[in-house]
Amino acid sequence: MRPRLLVALLLLLAAAGVCGRLGVWQLDRAHSRSQAALEQRRAAEASTAPASLDDVLAPQTRFDGDLVGRRVAVRGVYSAAGQFLVSGRSVGGRNGYLVLTPLRVSAGAGGTQPLPAVLPVVRGWLASPDGARLVPPPGEVTLTGYLQASEAAGTTDLAAGTTDAISSGELANIWGGPIYAGYLVAATSQPAQADGLTWLPPPAAPGGAGLNLQNLAYAVQWWIFGGFALALWSRLVRDEAALAEESSGPRARRDP
Amino acid sequence: MPTDLSPAAEESRILKAWAALGRYRVMAYVTGAWLLLLTLEVILQWVIDVNGDHRPVIGEWVPIVHGWVYIAYLVTVFLLWTTMRWGLGRLVAMVLAGVVPFMSFVLERRVHRDAVAELGDQVSRTTLAP
């Protein structure tokens, strides 16, 4: 009888393994489907007019996590003198620099700030610094882009014109406040900026796109099926043990 | 079927089996009905493609709920199969019946008939036993 149990164990373990693997597959599908849903939402959002920055975020206020990736439009004037290169940033697997330029935001209807607020703008990425491409468009520009949360303070000396972090707290010391507690990843500029800068992709929300609930439920169900296989085996073992005890006990089996 | 238990234990097993048989009957019907709904949804969504792009027609909840109903069904199947001490073939058939349309209704009748026959048989033998 032992070999039969061993075969059953192997079969049921295999079944449990297959169920476990199917659960993992569904978990992957839960990821990829919610990712697809996110991209669809992004595409739908991109076809509608962006929100005005004034309506979404005020200077010197907390940057809520759900603002990450929000598409906004803003008008203002670049101050070329305050521009930084952010080192050690890769796009498409290539290492390079981000161009970070302060934008003095034009006062909206309710703008009462004595000094125009400054919004850090990532104007794009480039592989190596090149003076001609770095000059921002003069005068008032209209930008659209995506909001991103400020980073922690960097470790480099900002005076050198290069930094390794986009930190509003740090930048406010140099640019002068008031400053927004987040930055803009620019996607379009009117008038256009110099060629040679690569736009950054829209930032992803923290925690990713979440999980598709249907596939998550399927994943759990597959794991429960796997548990059934194991329960079945333990049942077989117990039956076998009971039989063995009986046949060695004083009572003989009454019928076949 | 081996009946090597004391009369009292055997009687309690038979009572358990009757309860398990009732629960199995309920779940066989619920699972069967839900499976028909799921089949309809699959046809509407994947064959006819009512909404285009193979989007859910009746609802995304139909397959999800079927999954959980099926799990509850499997629990009742397992408990019945254990107390009835049937062979593995019958277990496989009952497990399959939850995913083949109409099969659970058909199989439930046969399982019920067999179980009643076996349990009735065992009751009479238990009461006659010393």
Domain tally, chain A:
2
pLDDT value, residue A252:
47
- CB of A107 within 8 Å of any CB in chain B? no
A217 lies in the same domain as A179: no
Does residue A42 belong to any structural domain of this protein? no
CA distance B72 to chain A (A): 11
pLDDT > 90 fraction of chain A, expressed in percent and rounded: 11
DSSP code, position A179 = B
Phi, psi for A162 (deg, rounded to 5): -130, 140
Contact between chains at B4 and A254 (C-beta distance less than 8 A): yes
Residue A250: is its pLDDT beyond 70? no
Does residue A53 belong to any structural domain of this protein? no
B95-102 mean pLDDT = 92
A174 lies in the same domain as A239: no
Q: CB-CB: which of A231, A239, A254 is closest to B3?
A: A254
Residue A112: is its pLDDT beyond 70? no
Phi, psi for A3 (deg, rounded to 5): -60, -35
B16-40 mean pLDDT = 94
pLDDT value, residue A256:
45
- CB of A195 within 8 Å of any CB in chain B? no
A186 lies in the same domain as A214: no
Does residue A55 belong to any structural domain of this protein? no
Reported as a single tens digit per residue, the pLDDT across A37-65 is: 878 877 777 777 888 888 888 888 888 88
A182 lies in the same domain as A142: yes
Interface test with A, best of B1, B3, B4 (most A CBs within 10 A): B4
A141-158 mean pLDDT = 83
B-chain CB neighbours of A232 within 8 Å are 78, 91
Does residue A50 belong to any structural domain of this protein? no
A14 lies in the same domain as A79: no
CA nearest to B4, candidates A73, A88, A254: A254
A137 lies in the same domain as A217: no
Give kind and range of the element (H or E) at residue A188.
strand A182-190
pLDDT value, residue A253:
45
Residue A123: is its pLDDT beyond 50? yes
CA B63/CA B35 separation, integer angstroms = 9
ipTM, two decimals: 0.74
Contact between chains at A221 and B63 (C-beta distance less than 8 A): no
Domain that holds residue A236: 2-37+210-248
Stretch among A23-32, A207-216, B46-55, B78-87 having the lowest mean pLDDT: A207-216
CA A208/CA B21 separation, integer angstroms = 47
**DSSP letters spanning A113-174:** -SS--EEEEEEEEESS--HHHHPPPPSEEEEEEEEEEPPPP-SS-GGGSEES---HHHHHHH
- DSSP, collapsed to helix, strand or coil, labels residue A61 as coil
Does residue A47 belong to any structural domain of this protein? no
| Runs of H (alpha helix) within chain A | 2-46, 53-56, 131-134, 168-175, 213-248
Give the CATH number, domain containing residue A177.
2.40.50
Interface test with A, best of B1, B3, B71 (most A CBs within 10 A): B71
CA distance A114 to chain B (A): 54
A162 lies in the same domain as A129: yes
Q: CB-CB: which of B60, B64, B82 is closest to A235?
A: B82
Mean pLDDT of chain A: 82
Does residue A203 belong to any structural domain of this protein? no
B-chain CB neighbours of A217 within 8 Å are 64, 67-68
A186 lies in the same domain as A222: no
pLDDT value, residue B126:
54
Q: CB-CB: which of B60, B64, B78 is closest to A231?
A: B78
Does residue A58 belong to any structural domain of this protein? no
Highest mean pLDDT among A68-72, A234-238, B42-46: B42-46
Provide the number of CB pairs (under 8 Å) joining chain A to chain B. 36
Contact between chains at A217 and B67 (C-beta distance less than 8 A): yes
Q: CB-CB: which of A221, A253, A255 is closest to B67?
A: A221
Per this entry, what is the length of chain B? Answer: 130
Does residue A52 belong to any structural domain of this protein? no
Specify which residues A99 forms β-bridges with: A85, A124
**DSSP letters spanning B12-23:** HHHHHHHHHHHH
B-chain CB neighbours of A255 within 8 Å are 1-3
Contact between chains at B78 and A217 (C-beta distance less than 8 A): no
More confident residue, B115 or A51: B115
Task: State which amino acid sits at residue B118.
Answer: E
A80 lies in the same domain as A181: yes
Contact between chains at B4 and A251 (C-beta distance less than 8 A): yes
Residue B130: is its pLDDT beyond 70? no
Contact between chains at B64 and A224 (C-beta distance less than 8 A): no
Q: From the CA atom positions of chain A, what is the Rg in Å?
A: 30
Are A211 and A31 contacting, i.e. CB atoms less than 8 angstroms apart?
yes
Are B40 and B113 contacting, i.e. CB atoms less than 8 angstroms apart?
no
A174 lies in the same domain as A235: no
Cα torsion A170, A176, A180, A185 to 10°: value is -70
pLDDT > 70 fraction of chain B, expressed in percent and rounded: 89
A-chain CB neighbours of B68 within 8 Å are 217, 221
pTM of the predicted model as reported, rounded to 2 decimal places: 0.59
A185 lies in the same domain as A224: no
Q: CB-CB: which of A221, A232, A253 is closest to B2?
A: A253
A85 lies in the same domain as A137: yes
